[in-house]
Structure 1
Amino acid sequence: MPHDTPTDPGCAFGQHDHAHCAGAVLERAAAEAERRGLRFTPVRKRVLEILLEAHRAMGAYEVLDRLAAEGFGNQPPVAYRALEFLVEAGLAHRVQRLNAFAACMHPGEAHAPVFLICRECDTVVEAEAAPLRQALDLVAGELAFTVERASFEALGLCPDCRAKAEASA
Structure 2
Amino acid sequence: MTEQISGFVPHDHHHCITSALDTAADQCRERGVQFTPVRKRVLEILLEAHTAMGAYDVLARLDAEGLGSKPPVAYRALSFLVEQGFAHRIEKLNAFVACSHPAATHSPAFMICRSCNTVAEADMPETFGAPAEQAGFTIEKTVIEAEGICQNCKDSE
TM (norm. structure 2) is 0.94
Contact 2:4 2:100 in 1 (8 A): no
What pairs with 1:47-126 in structure 2 (closer than 5 Å)? 47-126=42-121
How far did 1:69 drift? 0.4
- Write the deviation string for residues 19-73 of structure 1: whole angstroms up to 9, x where unpaired: 1111111111111111111111111000000000000110000000000001111
Q: Name the structure 1 match of 2:132.
A: 140
Q: Secondary structure at the match of 2:129?
A: helix
How far did 1:15 drift? 2.1
Q: What amino acid is aligned across from residue 74 of structure 1 in structure 2?
A: S
- Cα RMSD between the aligned structures? 1.5
Contact 1:12 1:55 in 2 (8 A): yes
Aligned equivalents of 2:93, 2:117: Cα separation in 1? 9
Q: Name the structure 2 match of 1:150.
A: 142
Aligned equivalents of 2:113, 2:134: Cα separation in 1? 34
Q: Secondary structure at the match of 1:27?
A: helix
**2:36 aligned to which of 41, 44, 47:** 41
Runs (4+) of structure 1 exceeding 4 A deviation are none
Aligned equivalents of 1:123, 1:44: Cα separation in 2? 22
TM (norm. structure 1) is 0.88
How far did 1:143 drift? 2.2
Q: Name the structure 2 match of 1:15.
A: 10
- Write the deviation string for residues 63-122 of structure 1: whole angstroms up to 9, x where unpaired: 000000011111000000000011011111000011000011111211121111000000
Q: What amino acid is aligned across from residue 121 of structure 1 in structure 2?
A: C
Contact 1:32 1:107 in 2 (8 A): no
**Structure 1: 5+ residue stretches without partners:** none
Give identity over the alignment, percent: 54
**Structure 2: 5+ residue stretches without partners:** none
